[in-house]
Amino acid sequence: MALPLALSGQDLIGQARTGTGKTYAFGIAMLQSIGKPRKNRKKPRGLVVVPTRELATQVSEDLVTAAGKLGSRVLTVYGGRAYEPQIEALKAGVDVIVGTPGRLLDLVKQKHLDLSQITTLVLDEADRMLDLGFLPDVERIFSLIPGQRQTMLFSATMPGEIVTLSRKYLNRPTHVRAEHESGEGETTPQVRQLVWRAHRMDKIEILGRLLQAEGRGLTMVFCETKRACDMVAEQLDTRGFAVAAVHGDLGQGQREQALRAFRNGKIDVLVATDVAARGIDIDDVTHVVNYDCPTDDKTYVHRIGRTGRAGRTGISVTFVEWEELTRWKMINQMLGLEFAEPEETYSTSPHVYSELNIPEGTKGVLPHASRSRAGLSAEHLEDLGETGRARVRGGGRRREEREERPARTPRQRRRTRGGKELAETAVVETPEVELVDAKGEETPAIFSTDEIQSAAEPKRTRTRRGAASSAIEQALAEAPEAPVKATRSRRAAKVTAPEAGTVTAPEAAGITAPEAGTAEEAPAKGTRSRSTVEEAPAKSTRSRRAAEPAPVAEVPPAPPAAEPVPSFLATPPPPVRKEAERIVPPNPFTVIFQSPDLASDDDDIAPSAATERKQQRRQPRGGGGNRRRTG
């Protein structure tokens, strides 16, 4: 019905069920009016505006097939691809352009596309353009096209906004509706519809058993969100099905790769959002599954219209959750269906096996013997020179990109001090005991030569003085008696005269002083302090702490029960910290508060209110009381 009117050059509004051949209805008329291409004619004469990229690809393929004898030049322009191939094709000359509104306006703005010679304009799936917010872009395209043109508008549904648009820009259009008068959005009668009330956690199990039905061909699964698409595709892939996802977050090359693999049979399950619900014509689609309940009746009509096309039959299954019952009842009422109360269904329900012809005992995992599909990886990923950010399937980076990433080198840590490396500013370690020149001042020796040399050797690691002191004390305990040697110590202890019955530090360590016959021999070897002493010895040593000279006397050995006096090289013990006294209340709910006592012995105790009232009562009253007694 629409083809004779379109060939006559009249404006047309075509409304028919999806899959009834609307593309050829306007395509043949457009190609016939344009005629054969000419070398001197490079500007386009026909323009087809579509809402989605997938629909643009399909419409252009149908037009190329229809223009096989004419040789018309058809160009497809849409976003997500490089500009350069499209610009080169425009410079070479085209007859028909099929594209999305955004990329068409971009090329016009860059002055690569001229729409001044368009004679035929077609709006395909106009209601979807309205839903996607393309109405302002479509109006701009109308303003760039000459007024003398033929305009055709095709859609499966016709909302009020599209009717208003047609009245504004079409010239006395003829409305052709190829369906019954009973319903505007009536569904395809070749599709067998099943509506089940399913639980959210059990839908993936029902879907896994549905995909193993006998006679099942290609299957499309529609989800509401992109995240749900990725989730369903990932779970089906884990269960062994050859599956791919198509949604807006994927690159154009990946979307076309999935559609090619689906058409070629390398995968048999395509999980998509509503981006693939309009105009996608793929043969042998036997099942359509609405994994999420559609938002409105138009979406439901377009989804189930992917099967049962061109006289074929198909099956559609819709899952409705409990919270989606109200929405589904509105869709059911608008379309006049018989599923107002969907049957409650689980993966083990008997009617799932009987209505879908599923073999008994089938589980939600595909057996290994049935996994014969090549999969998505068998389809070549075409490099389209995609624009914008790189989008990868599954939200993560590609496996080959992760493998090509170089290994992370370990971080080199350098210790610095004052902006310079520690090796340049390292402090030279000095031993605790140093040797002095033989000409220096001497003190009575308490160490042997081997012990002094071992203590004077520098150590590789820096230690605290307490550790060095403990090592020296251990060496002193094991060393025998040694002859007198002159040494200088950084820390000199006060030399006091030992009293009888006491033990000195060297003796406590196991070293006894050399025996002296008399006290007169002591000045021969003595000490020298900062304060001058009359009995200065011939050889002496300089100590940091002055000590008074005293005669050395023989001391009897200490009793074994006596506690040894700590050595002067030992590290003093840390001070004992007294903990504050804790007050533990008898009841954990009791609060104890101690206020400071600020009263002194001279302060008087303040009388209470009761004491003051008692004193007031004892005071004699006035004359009134005396008069009462006398009266």
Q: What pLDDT does 461 receive?
A: 52
Those residues with Cβ within 8 angstroms of residue 568's Cβ, 6 or more apart along the chain or in another chain: 491, 493, 505
Q: What pLDDT does 456 receive?
A: 57
Q: Is it the case that residue 123 has pLDDT exceeding 70? A: yes
47-56, 279-288, 414-423: least confident range: 414-423
**Residue from 46, 2, 50, 42 nearest 25 by CA:** 2
Separation between Cα atoms, residue 90 and residue 43, nearest integer Å: 8
Q: What pLDDT does 22 receive?
A: 79
Q: Give residue 89's identity as a one-letter amino acid code.
A: A
Instruction: Tell me what the mean pLDDT of segment 114-123 comes to.
Output: 92
Could you tell me if 218 and 284 are in contact, meaning their C-beta atoms sit under 8 angstroms apart?
yes
Q: Is it the case that residue 106 has pLDDT exceeding 90? A: yes
Q: What pLDDT does 34 receive?
A: 87
Give per-residue pLDDT as tens, 575-603. 777 666 666 667 767 665 555 656 566 66
Give per-residue pLDDT as tens, 535-591. 444 444 444 444 444 455 555 555 555 555 556 676 777 777 766 666 666 776 766
Q: Is it the case that residue 408 has pLDDT exceeding 60? A: yes
Q: pLDDT band for 608, please (50, 70, 90 cuts).
A: confident
Above pLDDT 90, what percent of the chain? Answer: 32
Q: Is it the case that residue 430 has pLDDT exceeding 50? A: no
Separation between Cα atoms, residue 443 and residue 545, nearest integer Å: 13
Separation between Cα atoms, residue 342 and residue 327, nearest integer Å: 12
Q: Is it the case that residue 234 has pLDDT exceeding 90? A: yes
DSSP of 249-311, one letter per residue?
TS-HHHHHHHHHHHHTTS-SEEEE-GGGSSS---TTEEEEEESS--SSHHHHHHHHTTSS-TT
Return the structure tokens found at 198: 């399913």
Query: 411 vs 490, which has greater pLDDT?
Result: 411
- Give the HSE-up count for residue 475: Cα atoms under 13 Å, Cβ half-sphere: 19
Instruction: Tell me what the mean pLDDT of segment 269-294 comes to.
Output: 87
Q: Give residue 348's identity as a one-letter amino acid code.
A: T
Could you tell me if 304 and 331 are in contact, meaning their C-beta atoms sit under 8 angstroms apart?
no
**Residue from 546, 550, 445 nearest 488 by CA:** 445
Report whether CATH 3.40.50.1010 matches the domain 2-178. Answer: no
Return the structure tokens found at 45: 């004469």
pTM of the complete model: 0.57
Return the structure tokens found at 315: 């099956």
Give per-residue pLDDT as tens, 332-369. 999 999 999 999 999 999 999 999 999 999 999 999 99
Separation between Cα atoms, residue 144 and residue 289, nearest integer Å: 41
Separation between Cα atoms, residue 98 and residue 121, nearest integer Å: 10
Give per-residue pLDDT as tens, 269-281. 999 998 777 767 7
32-46, 206-220, 228-242, 516-530: least confident range: 516-530
Which phi and psi (to 5°) does residue 23 adopt? -65, -45
Alpha-helical segments (H) within 18-52: 22-34
Instruction: Tell me what the mean pLDDT of segment 469-476 comes to.
Output: 66
Give per-residue pLDDT as tens, 63-86. 998 888 888 899 999 988 889 999
Q: What is the CATH number of domain 191-396?
A: 3.40.50.300
Q: What pLDDT does 268 receive?
A: 93
Angle subtended by helix axes 135-144 and 160-169, to nearest 10: 10
Q: pLDDT band for 496, please (50, 70, 90 cuts).
A: very low
Q: Give residue 415's identity as a one-letter amino acid code.
A: R
Those residues with Cβ within 8 angstroms of residue 457's Cβ, 6 or more apart along the chain or in another chain: 431
Give per-residue pLDDT as tens, 240-261. 999 999 998 888 888 889 999 9
| C-alpha pair distances (Å), 73 with each of 124, 593, 598 | 20, 97, 107
Q: What pLDDT does 252 receive?
A: 83
Could you tell me if 386 and 253 are in contact, meaning their C-beta atoms sit under 8 angstroms apart?
yes
Instruction: Tell me what the mean pLDDT of segment 17-29 comes to.
Output: 78
Q: pLDDT band for 210, please (50, 70, 90 cuts).
A: very high
Q: Is it the case that residue 491 has pLDDT exceeding 80? A: no
Q: Give residue 423's identity as a one-letter amino acid code.
A: A
Q: What pLDDT does 515 receive?
A: 43
Q: What pLDDT does 330 receive?
A: 94
Helix (H) or strand (E) holding 47: strand 46-49
Could you tell me if 57 and 76 are in contact, meaning their C-beta atoms sit under 8 angstroms apart?
yes
The strand pairing partners of 317, in sequence order, are 194, 289
Query: 42 vs 269, which has greater pLDDT?
Result: 269
Q: pLDDT band for 420, please (50, 70, 90 cuts).
A: confident
Asked if domains 2-178 and 191-396 share a fold, the reply is: yes
Q: What pLDDT does 226 receive?
A: 93
Q: pLDDT band for 16, please (50, 70, 90 cuts).
A: confident
Q: Is it the case that residue 17 has pLDDT exceeding 50? A: yes
Q: Mean pLDDT for the chain? A: 75
Separation between Cα atoms, residue 526 and residue 551, nearest integer Å: 9
The structural domains of the chain, with segments of one domain joined by +, span 2-178, 191-396, 432-456+468-486
Q: What pLDDT does 572 receive?
A: 73
Q: Is it the case that residue 239 has pLDDT exceeding 60? A: yes
Q: Is it the case that residue 449 has pLDDT exceeding 90? A: no
138-152, 162-176, 313-327, 503-517: least confident range: 503-517
Helix (H) or strand (E) holding 629: helix 623-630
| C-alpha pair distances (Å), 593 with each of 114, 143, 578, 586, 599 | 91, 87, 22, 14, 17
Q: Is it the case that residue 495 has pLDDT exceeding 80? A: no
Q: Is it the case that residue 145 has pLDDT exceeding 70? A: yes
Angle subtended by helix axes 465-478 and 449-456, to nearest 10: 160
| C-alpha pair distances (Å), 386 with each of 58, 78, 166, 273, 389 | 19, 11, 35, 21, 8
Q: What pLDDT does 544 receive?
A: 45
Q: pLDDT band for 486, please (50, 70, 90 cuts).
A: very low
Q: What pLDDT does 246 receive?
A: 92
Above pLDDT 70, what percent of the chain? Answer: 62
Rg (CA), the chain: 52
| C-alpha pair distances (Å), 38 with each of 31, 65, 186, 548 | 14, 19, 44, 126
Query: 130 vs 463, which has greater pLDDT?
Result: 130
Query: 474 vs 314, which has greater pLDDT?
Result: 314
* Residue labelled with tokens 């198909």: 314
Q: How many Å separate Cα 234 from the centre of its chain?
A: 19
